[in-house]
A = this chain, B = another copy of it.
Amino acid sequence: MEAAAPARAARPSADPTRERILAAALDLFSERSFEGATTREIAARAGVTQPLLNYHFQSKDALWRAAVGMLFAELTDALSARADGLRGVDELTSTRLIVREFIFFSAHHPQLHRIITQECKVDGPRMDWLVEHHIRPLYAWTVERFAHLVERGELPAIAPTHLYYIVTGAGPTMFVLGPECRRLSGVDPSDPNVIEAHADAVCMLLFGR
């Protein structure tokens, strides 16, 4: 009788290799864009040969979806875990803390918004997939909370869609442009104090002092 682990056997197990490939793919796709990242460079960074990418994943497209899907799963996990831990807390406070969580996630995973801004500028199959599989649920969830708070006068009278793009712009941009920020200002966006200060700043402007 089979246990919870079904077909997946694997003696030497390819899982660690797959994960190294996915991590390398995420870095390179986010830095160089889908077309700019080459499968050879991804393979090199993962320490494998290039045809192995087509063995584990079928194509460059499928590899992209696997890598991006993994990252979105981490975001969704982080946000919903935070939301679960805040059950019973008033909606203004919990929303503020969820926005903070979002900013911390963006600081530690700038690849997420790098990829979103690359793929969602133009209609195309990858934007289709991104929006329908990952972005739309998050958007709907966020906008609903914002709408409640605006209705009750607990947030400034701004349409939720605008609030959404203000938060997803103001929060991650400093980390997306990390190398530029370091060079321009000397401020290091990977410094925990800087991350904290940025989350404070965004929350202060949004939710008041």
Residues of chain A at the chain B interface (Cβ within 8 Å): 30-36, 110, 114, 116-118, 120-123, 127, 131, 135-136, 139, 143, 156, 158-159, 161-174, 176-181, 183-185, 187, 197-198, 201-202, 204-206, 209
Are B162 and A169 in contact, CB atoms less than 8 angstroms apart? no
Oligomer copy total: 2
Query: CA–CA, A158 to B172, complex, Å?
Result: 17
Decide: A173 near B180, CB < 8 A? Known: A33-B35, A121-B30, A198-B162: no
| Cα separation A187 to B158 with both chains bound (whole Å) | 14
Q: In the assembled complex, how far is the CB of residue A198 from the closest CB belonging to chain B, in whole angstroms?
A: 5
Q: Closest B-chain residue to A173, C-beta based?
A: B169
Assuming A173-B168, A204-B156, is B131 touching A121 (CB within 8 A)? no
A121 to chain B, nearest CB (A): 6
Q: Is the CB of B122 within 8 A of A179?
A: yes
B35:A183 contact, CB within 8 angstroms:
no
Closest 4 pairs between A and B when the two form their complex, measured CB to CB: A169-B173, A35-B36, A120-B180, A165-B174
Q: Please give, as numbers and ranges, the residues of chain B lying within 8 Å of A205 by CB-CB distance.
A: 156, 158, 166, 205-206
- In the complex, which residues of chain B have a beta carbon less than 8 angstroms from the beta carbon of A36? 33-36
